[in-house]
Amino acid sequence: MRSHPDIKKILLDENTILNRIDKLAEQINDDYTDIENIMIVSILKGAFMFTSDLLKRITIPHIVDFMALSTYGAESRASGEVRVIMDLRHPVQNQHVLIVEDIFDSGLTLQFLERILQSRNVASLKTCVLTQKEGKKNPEIKIDYLGFTIPDVWVVGYGLDYADKHRTLPYIAELKPEVYH
């Protein structure tokens, strides 16, 4: 398996991730059977691999669109500020929207996104998140489909980066703390 000296430990290997995605897709296919079309909103860049593997397994009619949100700096995080770097191409009014996101940490990103999408009058809004950091909750946000709970450490791989590195590793791994401290 492709490894890297910055990696401390693999938390979720590729098979584990894909097996869980099989289950998530099954659940989504079941839950949306009566809906004509769903609109997948994938959050760049982090969710790109997850989105791709998930959507290969979605058998109900859907379209996919992308939105890029800023990663906050230390200060903007405290204020809960999130910025839209690239907006959706398609209108979402009256659409059944499923957000696909990489990580739920403080939940501020999803909270921000939900507020935007609700203001555009979607027909319904659900969230599918690959990982949630242990002990992190946000009473404002409900995750409808969750892949894994992971330790509260900085993780990379499978779409996730540190300073734009390690995004294309096929697994999710803990970064050595000395790399990001």
Catalytic machinery residues: 105
CB of 178 to ligand 5GP, least distance (A): 16
At position 120, the amino acid (one-letter code) is: R
What is the Cα–Cα distance from 39 to 123, expressed in whole angstroms?
11
Instruction: Examine residue 147 and tell whether it contacts Mg ion (CB under 5 A).
Output: no
Nearer to Mg ion, 35 or 68 (CB): 68
* Nearest distance in Å: CB 71, Mg ion: 6
Both structure tokens of 86: 């690239």
- The DSSP-derived string for 102-115 is EEESSSHHHHHHHH
Return the SS3 of 61: coil
**Partner touching 117 among ligand 5GP, Mg ion, none, CB below 5 to 8 Å by kind:** none
Under the binding rule (CB under 5 A), the answer on residue 46 touching Mg ion is yes
CA 119 vs CA 112, 116, 124, 166: distances in Å:
11, 5, 12, 35
Q: Which is nearer to ligand 5GP, 10 or 35 (CB)?
A: 10
Between 46 and 58, CB nearer to ligand 5GP: 46
Our finding on whether 159 is near Mg ion (CB under 5 A) is no
Q: Name the site residues for Mg ion (rule: CB under 5 A).
A: 46
